[in-house]
Structure 1
Amino acid sequence: MDKLEMRYTLLAAKARKKMSWDDIGNAVGMSPVWVASACYGMNSASQDIADKLCDTLGVESDVAEALVAFPTKAWDEAIPQDPFIYRLYEVVGVYGETLKDVVQEKFGDGIMSAIDFSMEVEKIEDPKGDRVLLTLNGKFLPYKSW
């Protein structure tokens, strides 16, 4: 089974079981954001976590093999059409250079790791309209000179 077939199998099982990412994350002892990313094929899971995911969602063991396999992290280079993803793309387009400049003023020349990284998603209730709070927490990796 490849990552794409794995993704469809896991998302179908999630829908069939009517489970949220929070439910699944709690069941396997991992962040719901990370679990979703692994199910979408963008991260690999340990054998233990892959087995727990398969048990939780009631899918066959060949799915666990695909979950453990190292992913090729690639995505469509076209501008995203989904409004939510497009708005994140827009945020990076509008504020990307600003964020880079501010981070580099504070830390020096380098990047934020997406490998040594975590992310949280919170709902902030607000009478003027609920808010989405995304927390991106990545290790700073300075560029080296040699």
Structure 2
Amino acid sequence: MKYLKKIIPFVVSIYFVILFCYAAISKILDFEKFQNQISASPLLNGFSQFLPYTIIIVESFIAGLLCYRKTRTIGLIGSFILMLIFTGYIALLIRTSKNLPCSCGRILEKMSWHQHLYFNIGCVILSLIALGLNLKYSRPAE
């Protein structure tokens, strides 16, 4: 059982590496569209000059942190915070706006806003579980 508790943070880290790399690459490949979608958001249009670059860099950086055991905890904290921010943004959009384009990446943009919210809530919970297990079981024995 203890082995499973150690492997879960690793598997979740791989999941987030794939998710963040996929999202970042999708945004880079169609950067102009991504930038336009952020500009179209009433909540983000004031930040459309630097936010697209920032999101891509942060997603890539967190993915890199998750690749190494020594930085995995920081990467899981970053994953939790980033997914919490994305989830809050989507929840706010659902409450305040209609018919906005999704700037998340090819597969994710096919989801409805409510599906996307549930997906993100699941990612927040997953990152929190992995972080808790990583903090508890991934420390070297003294």
The answer to whether the superposition gives a TM-score over 0.5 is no
Greater fraction helix? 2
User: Whose Rg is larger?
Assistant: 1
TM-score between both structures, scaled by the size of structure 2? 0.29
